[in-house]
Structure 1
Amino acid sequence: MTDHVETPLLFLDVDGTLLPYGGARLPSSAEEWDGWQDTSNPQLAKIDRTHGPRLLALPCVLMWATAWMDDANEVIAPLLGLPPLPVVGLPDAPEEEETGALHWKTRALVALADGRPFVWVDDEITALDRAWVSRHHRGPALLHRVAAMTGLTGADFAVIDGWLRERRRRTPAT
């Protein structure tokens, strides 16, 4: 197996994950203040620009898994200092979420992963999604739910990074 095949995928949501629904986080450094007012959408002021380097440091292949689709590369990636990322082809998001239904992204993410280890970071993951993935995905998977009001936190990064590094430790060298 090649390193590329074994490198886990990380499917990354935007709304509620990178863009929390709670209050805006104020910049903590002079560098962050630069360009703070550059965004035309006030919701974008909530993004934590330190997430970009933290995401890039994770031992995985980053992919957008969001209703933003290609707009994530146009708007979100530059704010975080990320290069353009692959965008998961997702079905159209439903107008209304059905209570007790499988998330609209779940099947597409499992199909794309095709047995490869993956992390899915989203604010809408449920026990039903976890159960479905455990039955239909033949590789390891971490479905990590983020609190929508706060978005990604240091604790979330610690869980994700720990899981990814454990996968790397368990994968024999080829």
Structure 2
Amino acid sequence: MPAPVPLPLLFLDVDGPLIPFGPPPPGGHPTYAPDPDPSGHPLLARVNPALGAALAALPCELVWATTWMDDANALVAPRLGLPALPVLDRQEEDAATREHEALHWKTRALVAQAAGRPFVWIDDEIGRADRDWVAAHHPGRALLRRTDPWRGIAAGDLDVVGEWLRGLRRVGEGL
């Protein structure tokens, strides 16, 4: 019997995708927690808890890819109803090791952690350099989904990601 194919990865940023920021839309940013957060973080109330179920329903393995690092498990995951997730290993690199100054610090690290597995990366800071680098250095399929940091992850973003992941299943690249 062949070994099971591992699920694709979904690397998830916090600031921007899960916590919208920037100038608030008319009427302010929606908030989902009536009381101040005990951690003292002023923007955690903007995390929409409904996103947790939507993300957990996707056929993938969720991984934090954020400067929050392990704090995402302590402060963000409970608001989303998610268990503790793996955290992207931040690779130390200086400007001399970068091929291009516009390359995001996460790009090399998530390609290394994916190790050829298909992956999705949801972030508000994905740029052309990141797309080009992933295309040149990642042997598997990848979807880099840039979100609007002022509104965060929207239903359309999740629709695109879900369809892409289901497409992998149809061609046998994911369970």
Q: TM-score range by the shorter chain?
A: 0.7 to 0.9
Identity %: 50
The residue type equivalent to 1:164 in the other structure is: L
Taking the aligned partners of 1:153 and 1:105, their CA distance within structure 2 comes to: 22
Structure 1: gaps spanning 5 or more residues: 28-34
The residue type equivalent to 2:67 in the other structure is: A
Query: Within the alignment, does 1:53 sit opposite 2:58 as a pair?
Result: no
Taking the aligned partners of 2:4 and 2:34, their CA distance within structure 1 comes to: 38
- Structure 1: 4+ residue segments shifted above 4 A: none
Query: Within the alignment, does 1:119 sit opposite 2:108 as a pair?
Result: no
* Structure 1 residue matching 2:149: 3-state secondary structure: coil
Taking the aligned partners of 1:61 and 1:143, their CA distance within structure 2 comes to: 16
Within-5 A mapping of 1:98-117 = 101-117=102-118
Deviation at 1:46, TM superposition (A): 1.0
Question: Aligned residue for 2:97?
Answer: none
The residue type equivalent to 1:19 in the other structure is: I
Question: Aligned residue for 2:30?
Answer: 25
- Asked if the contact 1:9/1:113 (under 8 Å) is kept, the reply is yes
Q: Give the superposed CA RMSD.
A: 2.2
- Asked if the contact 1:102/1:128 (under 8 Å) is kept, the reply is yes
Taking the aligned partners of 1:9 and 1:85, their CA distance within structure 2 comes to: 11
* Structure 2 residue matching 1:42: 3-state secondary structure: coil
Taking the aligned partners of 1:93 and 1:157, their CA distance within structure 2 comes to: 32
Taking the aligned partners of 2:4 and 2:155, their CA distance within structure 1 comes to: 27
Query: Within the alignment, does 1:77 sit opposite 2:77 as a pair?
Result: yes
Shift of the 104–53 alpha-carbon distance from structure 1 to 2, 3 Å rule, reads same
* Structure 1 residue matching 2:67: 3-state secondary structure: coil
Shift of the 172–81 alpha-carbon distance from structure 1 to 2, 3 Å rule, reads closer
Normalized per residue, the structure richer in helix is 1
Question: Aligned residue for 2:43?
Answer: 43
Question: Aligned residue for 1:171?
Answer: 172
TM-score (norm 1): 0.85
